[in-house]
Homo-oligomer: A and B are copies of this chain.
């Protein structure tokens, strides 16, 4: 019944620190004391978020340790991306059933693989014994008053998304099917599973959108739910066209149109950005994201009212009463 600092804590946190070590002169005191000491650069606001992954809820049992390490950081960096913030520091709280050195090494490697290119420093952590559960808190910088929020979408704005939608849900579906050696769709499945396990937070896109988008969110719960959050926070509604939703070749190879549409609308875990843009800035946004190599698709528009409506291929509104997924349904 004690908080503590076990040997493993030192080893794991130290291992990730080694792997993510990089000079940041804003870290005055890193891992190893009761708290880290950090200096926010002058003229910057701090953007801060926390997210938890629980085994069997946010990733299937059997997920590789390196994938868990990557994803635990990715879902948090995605929150910074949605604010237009640049990542700086992370804290890690890892609860593990046993002191498994192979898990620790794999987790650290996956975490570090994503941290390194973003110059993200791990500045603190806590390791405890218990059911597998990971919380990461991330800190990023943004110029004062320039962050993207969910509020700010205006009637007439275009609604856009980065990348493709529904891949992660299809990846989870693929994991739940028995694997066959002679699977003709093996490459498509692998692509979709990688989209589930190794999401790429849209940080560069988020920064580029800071001066352009009127509202922004990352798609963690599914397009309908997350665009619904923008509508609620902005006091508007949205209409999207099913025919415009960007779907990957792999998704369409493995699923019929109705299933692919369901995944694209309601599947979570894609960690793409959904955002609104005044139409006069549309061309600039599309050019900016193209320069970054980030796919972007206009899928609808902001309207008066509330909630999200989806126009089907035949022009009729689809029934969309299920606006997302609840952990405690």
Contact = CB atoms under 8 A, between A and B. Distances in A.
Contact of A45 (B28, B83, B149): B28
A20 B127 CA distance: 28
A51 B5 CA distance: 10
A138 to B, nearest CB: 8
Contacts of A83: 33-35, 37
Contacts of A38: 45-48
B93 A135 contact: yes
Interface residues of A, number: 91
A273 to B, nearest CB: 10
A329 B131 CA distance: 16
A34 B150 contact: yes
A1 B269 contact: yes
Interface string A75-108: 1000110110100010111011011000000000
Interface stretch (A178-186, A215-223, A280-288, A307-315): A215-223
A5 B329 CA distance: 12
Indicate how many identical chains form the complex.
2
Interface centre among A9, A135, A218, A233 (most CB of B within 10 A): A135
Given A57-B129, A93-B50, A221-B4, A79 B40 contact: no
Interface of A: 1-9, 28-29, 32-40, 42, 45-60, 75, 79-80, 82-83, 85, 89, 91-93, 95-96, 98-99, 123-131, 133, 135, 137, 139-140, 142, 144-145, 147, 149-151, 172, 196, 217-218, 220-222, 225, 229, 233, 267-269, 324-329
